[in-house]
Chain A
Amino acid sequence: MPEQSAKKKTDRILEEVQKHIEEKKIVDVEEKKVKLVIFKLGNEYYAFLGDDVKKVLLHKEITYVPGSPAFIRGIISVSGDIESVLNIHKFLGLPETQITKNTRIVLASDGNIRSGVMVDSVEEVTDIPKSAIESPLSTFDETIKQYITGEVMYNHKHITVFDIGEIFKNITA
């Protein structure tokens, strides 16, 4: 009799384990993923949400527009369309860097506003679970914090995710 009871207990535990595995599978399938375009500014890693990024361009000649604010590098032609290029280092108050062969222009948009953003390099475009993005730390400088949508650890790198909409909103306000 005790043997039978023990067997039942084993069955019950196994059933529960199986159920847990099934539930986890469902959660895994349903977990929403977001695309991140990961880039570097100086030695730090940042990202834009993939939905906000239209193209990643090699660095090209930028035409400075006299009279424009210091955080606008100028304009470029992208397949015949004129696009602005944002100097995000200056906008965020980060140290300026040299243009290198790794420099890229990330063409981002939010609603009706679109602009290129010059970054030091684009490291990766990847999908991550949305839940992996955590709220930004309170240690960030207030000027930068308002543009951060969250933070994520990815491949042992700490990545700060920008909200391009907030950046554009501040510029056009």
Chain B
Amino acid sequence: MRDHNGTEHIDSREIRVFTFNIMGINLGIDVEQIAGLFEPDKVEAQNIQTFWFHEKISFPEGEVAYNSPKVLIIKDDTSAFGIIIDLPNDIFIISIDSIQPLPSIMKSSGRPEPIWGAALKDEQIILLVDAYRLMQCETVTEKKMIEII
């Protein structure tokens, strides 16, 4: 529902999700976790800690290519950090009732996973990412080094 200023309001059982796409996978982050979206060169000058999305969570073997990288600045009280994502798409309003947890077979580790659920939008699956949990993940290369050791 929009007010006279054109602002769209959501009710308590809905979330606004910013969506993007990396390697053909539709991903979404709750807009409440996002402070802004910038070109990478704009962020470099501001001394903001950034990381590529795929550095924090493993993708299938092979190169992860970005076609149109952008930096999502995440809201944080202590320090600003940014996630480099690809192909920003749109902001959708998703009903909480339509969000499904990942199947139990994928949650065997017991630790809080950065991908916390999935929602269907126009028959497409959007994977919902918690930016704060993603930030807490070790980088994939660090993880591999620990496994080797």
Contact = CB atoms under 8 A, between A and B. Distances in A.
A99 to B, nearest CB: 14
B142 to A, nearest CB: 14
Interface in B1-37: 22-23, 25-26
A173 B120 CA distance: 29
Interface stretch (B65-73, B75-83, B103-111): B103-111
Main secondary structure of the interface of B (DSSP, over half): mixed
Nearest to A73: B60
Residue among B25, B59, B105, B127 with max Cβ neighbours from chain A (10 Å): B105
B107 to A, nearest CB: 8
Nearest to A71: B105
Contacts of A168: 105
Contacts of A81: 100
B49 interface: no
Contacts of A114: 103-105
Q: How large is the interface on A (under 10, 10 to 19, 20 to 34, 35 or more residues)?
A: 20 to 34
Interface string A77-114: 10011111010000000000000000000000000111
Contact of A66 (B58, B100, B108, B125): B58
Contact of A82 (B59, B60, B118): B118
Q: Nearest 3 A-B pairs (CB), nearest first? A: A84-B103, A67-B57, A66-B57
Interface of B: 22-23, 25-26, 54, 57-60, 100, 102-106, 108, 113-115, 118, 120, 123, 125, 127
23 contacts: A63-B26, A64-B23, A65-B102, A66-B58, A66-B59, A67-B58, A67-B114, A72-B105, A72-B106, A75-B106, A77-B123, A77-B125, A80-B120, A82-B102, A82-B120, A82-B125, A83-B103, A84-B103, A86-B105, A113-B104, A115-B105, A171-B108, A172-B108
